[in-house]
Structure 1
Amino acid sequence: MTLLPALPTGTAPDRAGVAPPPGRHLLVLPDGVATDEVEVLAASRFPAARWERPPRIPSGRRSTGATRAPTVSATPGVLRVGRLSTLTGPYALEPARVAAWGLPTDSRVAWVVDCPRERQEGPRFGGDRDGLRRAFGAAGPVREELRVVQWLVAAARRLGGALRVDSGVVLEPDMDAALDLVVLTDRWVEPATVLAAARRVAPQARLDGAGAATGPGAGPDVPRPSPQETGAVLVARDQVGAGVADEAERRRLHAEADAFDAWMRAHPPAAEAFGLQVDLGVDGIVAVEVSAERDVPVVLAGLPWAQGEVVAYRVRWEAPDVEQLEAERPSLAHRVARGRAARVVRSVAREVHADVGGEIADQAGFLVDPVDL
């Protein structure tokens, strides 16, 4: 067991005799979450994330000998995540405080967030999957505060924690709500290779529309694209030999154009993007979409292979009822379908990663170890 300093209270006590730090958000986490896990998630979103003062958390083990070692007090760390924003902690949460604030019963530590209070009324559209509209009302956070709050929600979801915003509203992001994954790599592979990986999980997987396979790996049920579908441009006959007066030269140019067109039809270029689908029946569809990726997660930006072209193999779930995807508390039917689809999403991402390498990231841009899928 480790010893942590108690969370400081405000000046005005609440009904249970404890008060939150006034005007601050709290990232609340269960027992067992190491400080370096918080640091890694911060570095995954904020390029300049760094410790201004690393936390010092001495062991809570007591000496049984005749002499005792000098007691070293715990010191909260300060983790900078933005130009004006920091996290300070971890602080221990007392049971009375957990109950008074309506936090999850397994809450054990808290990080105090210092960030600008930047609010602005905006249009109300779409769902409220993360509960931000419920927490902030019509005037929600913007600019740096919005970036920090969105990261706090994503971190709480990843670590099984919660976010208590400065108004006192507690958000408990559902860990299962964000199941989409992406495999990021520097390797393009044939659509047939991705199809084979998906079929190791779901034999009913099929290429989507004109997503095409080229080369010897394409099976008889894999459609080949036309040159137009892959972006190849055939020679326009009305422009071949235009302005050439010599009849023999025009015939030669037409023959070259015919030969070029025949070669392009026999050897269409590989598709620059393609997709496939796994029909799950009443549970919706799992789609795999492959394309070049312009924006890689911050945590990958410094890797040598990410300096060139990066290819994204996105594995995502298309729910039967898309409105339920944005509901903070979706229906039981949605959650059951989501649980079954999640197993397919994770397994397909793992199989694709085995074939193409690279890294796997979740919807928040946090890296995922394949062994955890």
Structure 2
Amino acid sequence: MDQAQVKLPDRVDGRNVLVLPRDTDPVALATAWFPEASWERSPVTAPTAPRAMTGARFRGMVDAPVPAVPGLLALLPGATLEGPTALDSDDAREAGLGARDVDLYALDSTDPAGLALVYGWMSAAARRTAGGIVPADRSRLVTPDPGAAVDLTLWSPLALTARDALPLVRPAMTGARVGHPVESRDGALSITATFEYDGAVTVRLARSREIPVALSALDSGAYGPWAYVVTWEPPNPAELRTETPSQLHLIARSRVQQSVARIAAAVWRGAGGTVLDSGGFVVTPDELREMATAAR
């Protein structure tokens, strides 16, 4: 979603800015894509300094914030984020960011080769947190749709057979016509649930030689090479690639998201491992349960 001209503090002038909800941990987001990401300079939280408060009952009382010192978060060699620059809900609204407390992180990059990856991460991070991105020209606030991240992948040390998998996922496919499991010659397994109006959800199991970056920081027992990919194919797949999908697509998506989470949760209970969303970020068991039971 694009909005009108944005006005941000001078501190972040001339740079693309990632907008995150207040107190979001940028390191946790960064290490999901950049395993070596860390603070080159940690941010400093400033103490509260006095300011005079008006009125007889407040005479002599003072309370005013001192600006904090932003940190410098290294993503890749030659790419850093400076922040947070904090805006309260009033300042954020005046800036054109909506009425909520936010933290701003300004991008500096001296290596054009890595920019595409960094921009991809910024978009994924904004989608993951319901945040946004403000380009350097301040022409708009770009807010990637959090609801567009439907698919989930479980990375597990255990490979289930078709006989084991079907009883696990069938109860989670309520309201759908469930096909027979299909097993390919290389051992890949797939089960598809077809909904009358909402497209189809498929669970595919295959062994992968590459492990996502987000898993590299976890204990080896928390994941494995078997990827259970739960994907949604809407009635009109082209709408997955448009910024303005139809209302029918959005309705179908809202109905099917809970089914995707329930299927992933069912497989996780049976096979163990760690779930990642389509942006490459870890989905905790609590988040998965919340997604599976959320009201449509």
Distance 1:107 1:189 in 2: 45
- C-alpha displacement of 1:302: 5.0
User: Are 2:102 and 1:114 aligned?
Assistant: no
The one-letter code matched in structure 2 to 1:331 is S
Report the CA distance between 1:327 and its aligned residue.
0.9
Q: What is the root-mean-square deviation of aligned Cα atoms in Å?
A: 3.2
In 1, Cα distance between equivalents of 2:287 and 2:8: 42
Residue 209 of structure 2 is matched in structure 1 by 294
Question: Which residue is 1:338 aligned to?
Answer: 253
Does the Cα contact within 8 Å between 1:195 and 1:206 map onto a contact in 2?
A: no
> Which amino acid is 2:179 matched to?
R
1:148 matched residue in structure 2: 118
TM-score normalised according to structure 1 size: 0.65
- Map of 1:245-324 to 2, 5 A cutoff? 272-301=187-216, 303=218, 305=220, 310-324=225-239
Give the drift of 1:108: 2.3
TM-score by length of 2: 0.81
CA drift at 1:102: 3.1
Aligned to 2:55: none
Superposed displacement of residue 281, structure 1:
1.4
Other-structure match for 1:38: 26
Are residue 171 (structure 1) and residue 86 (structure 2) matched? no
Question: 2 CA distance for matches of 1:17 and 1:275?
Answer: 48
User: What residue is the counterpart of 2:53 in the other structure?
Assistant: none
Residues in 2 aligned to 1:76 and 1:310: alpha-carbon distance in whole angstroms? 39
The residue number in structure 1 matching 2:156 is 185
2:155, 2:224 → 1: CA distance? 10
Closer, same or farther: CA 61–19 of 1 in aligned 2, 3 Å: closer
| CA distance in 2 between partners of 1:197 and 1:149 (Å) | 38
Larger radius of gyration: 1
Distance 2:16 2:197 in 1: 40
What is the rounded CA distance, in whole Å, between the counterparts of 2:8 and 2:15 in structure 1?
Answer: 18
1:166 Cα deviation from its structure 2 partner: 1.5
Letter in 2 for 1:113: L
Change (3 A) 1:20 1:331: farther
In structure 1, what is the Cα distance between the partners aligned to 2:276 and 2:270? 16
Question: How many Å separate the matches in 2 of 1:100 and 1:17?
Answer: 9
Matches of 2:285 and 2:222, distance apart in 1: 23
Q: What fraction of aligned residue pairs are identical, expressed as a percent? A: 30
Structure with bigger strand share is 2
1:82 match: 76
Change (3 A) 1:20 1:311: same
Give 1:230's aligned residue: 185
1:64-143 to 2 correspondences below 5 Å: 74-93=68-87, 98-99=92-93, 101-106=95-100, 108-116=102-110, 118=112, 143=113
Structure 1: segments with no counterpart, 5+ residues: 1-13, 119-142, 212-228, 232-271
In 1, Cα distance between equivalents of 2:195 and 2:217: 38
Partner of 1:207: 180
Which amino acid in structure 1 is aligned with residue 70 of structure 2? P
**Residues 360 and 59 (structure 1), Cα distance of their counterparts in 2 relative to 1, 3 Å cut:** farther
Q: 1:330 to 1:351 in 2, by over 3 A?
A: same
SS at structure 2 position matched to 1:103: coil
Change (3 A) 1:307 1:295: farther
1:324-346 Cα shifts (integer Å, max 9, x gaps):
10111211111100011101000
Hey, what's the Cα distance between the residues in 1 that align with 2:43 and 2:8? 28
Deviates more, 1:336-345 or 1:297-306: 297-306
Distance 2:17 2:8 in 1: 18
SS at structure 2 position matched to 1:207: coil
Aligned with residue 326 of structure 1, among 241, 245, 249: 241
Report the Cα offset of residue 159 of structure 1: 1.1
Conserved in 1, the CA contact under 8 Å of 2:88 and 2:101?
no
- Structure 1, 292-301 or 357-366: larger mean CA deviation: 292-301
1:23 to 14, 33, 41: 14
1:188 partner amino acid: A
Contact kept in structure 1, 2:215 and 2:223, CA below 8 Å: no
Q: Separation in 2 of the partners of 1:308 and 1:202?
A: 24
**Number of equivalenced pairs:** 273
Q: CA deviation at 1:25?
A: 0.7
| 2:39 pairs with 1:51 | yes
Shift of 1:53: 1.4
Deviations 1:184-223 (A, max 9, x none): 0111111122211111212543334x42xxxxxxxxxxxx
Measured against aligned partners, the alpha-carbon deviations of 1:156-204 in whole angstroms (never above 9, x if no partner) come to 1111110011132321011100110000011111112221111121254
Q: Any idea what SS the aligned residue of 2:210 has? A: coil
Residue identity opposite 1:319 in structure 2: P
Query: Do 1:195 and 1:205's aligned partners in 2 also have CA atoms closer than 8 Å?
Result: no
Give the stretch that moved more between structures: 88-97 or 309-318. 88-97
